[in-house]
């Protein structure tokens, strides 16, 4: 084992341990442990950072590059550590200190519907994030530097026109849907005991191929997937006993993330190619968007399809005979695909979700560029919600204050949700082309060919390739919204009996 491999393994170990601490804090830890746990995580983060930026590691990286200038892991390491070394320590400290404080203030401000309370913290966060962008460096737009933290290679110049094209498609489609009668959904809100929800969801996750000898499902306030190498990939969900789709599709969503992590090639475990060095945590997926493409693909493309429920609805009905009495598979399928504009992103349906993302991305890129002031933010938010979703925002708590992201400085992460949708459709189209029997296989509950295609073209590579390279290799093209637009048009045209939609 080379010195570079040995030190990389140590760093990946430490990042995996940070993930264990994080998982435990969010699923198992008694409340009394929170303060000392935060100290423990901070100490371990410091140790990992120190090792990552140590002269010994730099020397090992350079030796690896001397031995093989095309060593992907070494190249990525050098890029990441060079970027991190460009960030002044004072800025890192200021950002860390502000994050803790700003999150608390945000929570208070949201509870009190008091944007002015949060505004100075947000201003400071925008300011420091811009400083961070300047330190990291960019070519055209400061927002590019932040995008790069979550979606390496994605630029504002590519992203904004792509989002605009989606808007031009989604808004008229939404308006057409709104003119149609609403599907029946009353049966989704009946009483569904959590234990039975869990059993059913977990069976579906296993049917997709989630390997429980290397994983487990727990409950948490916010669902997530996290991995400590491909050998231990855990997911969580949240049970609402009077709303069936939450835990059910939440589990399928996290299962998509988990299939990605469980599918990373074993030889990438304990390497830089299973570590996000800029974000300083262990992850096998190539980027946030690539990861999201897999959660969305399994949740929406597979799990919300008509074929899926034609196959699985009888078992669901057997599990919940009273709650679903007299409901057909077709009705259930329509209900879980209902489209309706809403104020809250995390409650949005498959179609309107992108509209929530677009408004955030446009506003945050302008904040970072200095084109929009924090003071003008609420009005800009509300105008956009009115224009895209047709809704009046009644208060900032249900408007500009709804998400935690900006209080933690996660500027640049929102786009990855929509980029994930776009990529999912591209990957799926490529899989369809490669697997002529795909639709029939999925209809019969055989998820192995799809999972194996995805593993072969995406999962096993870990972080070896950039998202763009991965997309090119798997689909033959760069980011292209057409397959996604085609999918949504066809799906909702059928579901809502619309005139054929461009």
Per the DSSP assignment, residues forming a β-bridge with 275 are 282
- Cβ proximity to its own copies: between 73 and 327 the closer is 73
Q: What's the rounded Cα separation, in Å, for the pair 217 and 31?
A: 21
Name the catalytic one among 225, 254, 261, 292. Answer: 254
Nearest Cα to Cα of residue 417 among 353, 349, 488: 353
Among 47, 65, 78, 438, binds its own copies (CB under 8 A): 47
Task: Find the helix or strand (DSSP H, E) in which 227 lies.
Answer: strand 225-227
Nearest Cα to Cα of residue 202 among 247, 172, 170: 247
- Cβ proximity to its own copies: between 43 and 375 the closer is 43
- Cβ proximity to its own copies: between 228 and 487 the closer is 228
5 binds its own copies (CB under 8 A): no
- Cβ proximity to its own copies: between 31 and 321 the closer is 31
54 binds its own copies (CB under 8 A): no
- Cβ proximity to its own copies: between 12 and 382 the closer is 12
3-state DSSP of 411-422: CCCCHHHHHHHH
- Cβ proximity to its own copies: between 25 and 391 the closer is 25
215 binds its own copies (CB under 8 A): yes
Cβ atoms of residues 18 and 226 within 8 Å: no
CB of 465 to its own copies, least distance (A): 23
Per the DSSP assignment, residues forming a β-bridge with 233 are 215, 227
CB of 64 to its own copies, least distance (A): 20
SS3 276: strand
CA distances from 414 to 33, 149, 354, 406 (A): 31, 12, 10, 10
Could you say which residues in the range 100-159 bind its own copies, by CB under 8 A? Answer: none
DSSP 342-372: -S-GGG--TTHHHHHHHHHHHHHHHHHHTSS
213 binds its own copies (CB under 8 A): yes
Among 71, 144, 232, 362, binds its own copies (CB under 8 A): 232
DSSP 162-225: HHHHHHHHHHHHHHHHHTSPPPP-GGGGS---HHHHHHHHHHHHHHHT--GGGEEEEE-SS--E
3 binds its own copies (CB under 8 A): no
194 binds its own copies (CB under 8 A): no
User: Cα 193 to the chain's mean position, in Å?
Assistant: 28
Instruction: Quote the DSSP letter at residue 273.
Output: G
231 binds its own copies (CB under 8 A): yes
**How many residues sit close enough to its own copies to count as binding (CB under 8 A)?**
36
3-state DSSP of 88-111: CHHHHHHHHHHHHHHHHHHHHHHH
316 binds its own copies (CB under 8 A): no
Could you say which residues in the range 412-441 bind its own copies, by CB under 8 A? Answer: none
Q: What residues contact 160, with CB distance under 8 A and at least 6 apart?
A: 361, 362, 365
216 binds its own copies (CB under 8 A): yes
- Cβ proximity to its own copies: between 199 and 315 the closer is 199
Listed ranges 38-46, 59-67, 83-91, 353-361: which one lies at the site for its own copies (CB under 8 A): 38-46
228 binds its own copies (CB under 8 A): yes
207 binds its own copies (CB under 8 A): no
Among 30, 69, 181, 436, binds its own copies (CB under 8 A): 30
In the residue annotation, 254 being an active-site residue is answered as yes
Among 24, 68, 395, 439, binds its own copies (CB under 8 A): 24
- Cβ proximity to its own copies: between 32 and 69 the closer is 32
Instruction: Quote the DSSP letter at residue 301.
Output: I
89 binds its own copies (CB under 8 A): no
Strands 275-276 and 281-282 come out as antiparallel
214 binds its own copies (CB under 8 A): yes
Length of the chain: 502
Tokens of 237: 């969900």
16 binds its own copies (CB under 8 A): yes
20 binds its own copies (CB under 8 A): yes
Among 3, 5, 9, 94, binds its own copies (CB under 8 A): 9
Among 5, 17, 404, 443, binds its own copies (CB under 8 A): 17
Q: What's the rounded Cα separation, in Å, for the pair 379 and 392?
A: 11
SS3 236: strand
21 binds its own copies (CB under 8 A): yes
- Cβ proximity to its own copies: between 227 and 402 the closer is 227
Per the DSSP assignment, residues forming a β-bridge with 235 are 217, 225
Cβ atoms of residues 204 and 252 within 8 Å: yes
Could you say which residues in the range 152-191 bind its own copies, by CB under 8 A? Answer: none
Could you say which residues in the range 238-277 bind its own copies, by CB under 8 A? Answer: 269-270
Residues tagged active-site: 254
Interacting residues with its own copies (CB under 8 A): 9-10, 13-14, 16-17, 20-21, 24, 28-33, 35-37, 39-40, 43-44, 46-47, 211-216, 228-229, 231-232, 269-270
């Amino acid at each position: 084992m080379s010195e570079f491999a040995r030190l990389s393994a140590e760093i990946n170990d430490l990042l995996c341990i940070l993930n264990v601490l994080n998982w435990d804090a969010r699923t198992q830890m008694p409340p009394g442990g929170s303060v000392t746990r935060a100290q423990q995580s901070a100490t371990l983060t410091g140790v990992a950072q120190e090792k990552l930026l140590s002269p010994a590691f730099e020397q090992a990286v350079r030796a690896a590059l001397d031995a093989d200038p095309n060593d992907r892991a070494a190249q990525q390491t050098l890029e990441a550590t060079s970027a991190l070394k460009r960030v002044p320590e004072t800025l890192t400290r200021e950002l860390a200190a502000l994050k803790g404080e700003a999150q608390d203030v945000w929570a208070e401000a949201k509870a009190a519907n008091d944007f002015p309370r949060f505004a100075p913290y947000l201003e400071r966060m925008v300011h420091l994030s811009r400083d961070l962008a300047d330190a990291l460096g960019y070519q055209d737009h400061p927002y590019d530097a932040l995008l790069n933290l979550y979606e390496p290679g994605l630029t504002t110049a590519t992203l904004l026109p792509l989002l605009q094209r989606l808007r031009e498609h989604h808004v008229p489609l939404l308006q057409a849907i709104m003119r149609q009668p609403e599907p029946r959904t009353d049966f989704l809100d009946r009483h569904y005991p959590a234990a039975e929800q869990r059993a059913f969801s977990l069976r579906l996750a296993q049917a997709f191929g989630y390997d429980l000898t290397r994983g487990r499902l727990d409950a948490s306030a916010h669902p997530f997937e996290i991995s400590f190498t491909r050998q231990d990939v855990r997911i969580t969900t949240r049970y609402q006993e009077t709303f069936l789709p939450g835990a059910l599709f939440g589990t399928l969503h996290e299962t998509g993330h988990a299939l990605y992590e469980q599918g990373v090639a074993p030889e990438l475990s304990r390497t830089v190619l299973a570590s996000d060095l800029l974000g300083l945590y262990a992850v096998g997926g190539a980027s946030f968007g690539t990861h999201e493409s897999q959660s969305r693909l399994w949740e929406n493309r597979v799990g919300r399809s008509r074929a899926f429920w034609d196959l699985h609805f009888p078992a669901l009905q057997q599990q919940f005979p009273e709650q679903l009495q007299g409901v057909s598979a077709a009705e259930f399928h329509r209900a879980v695909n209902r489209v309706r504009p809403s104020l809250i992103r995390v409650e949005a349906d498959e179609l309107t979700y992108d509209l929530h993302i677009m408004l955030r991305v446009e506003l945050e890129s302008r904040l970072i560029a200095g084109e929009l002031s924090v003071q003008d933010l609420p009005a800009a938010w509300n105008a956009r919600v009115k224009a895209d979703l047709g809704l009046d925002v009644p208060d900032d708590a249900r408007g500009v204050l709804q998400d935690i992201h900006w209080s933690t400085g996660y500027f640049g992460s929102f786009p990855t949700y929509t980029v994930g949708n776009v990529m999912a459709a591209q990957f799926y189209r490529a899989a369809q082309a490669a697997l002529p029997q795909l639709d029939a296989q999925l209809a019969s509950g055989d998820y192995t060919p799809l999972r194996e295609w995805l593993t072969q073209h995406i999962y096993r590579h870990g972080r070896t390739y950039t998202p763009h390279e991965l997309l090119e290799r798997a689909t033959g093209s760069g980011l292209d919204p057409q397959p996604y637009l085609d999918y949504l048009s066809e799906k909702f045209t059928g579901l809502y009996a619309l005139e054929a939609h461009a």
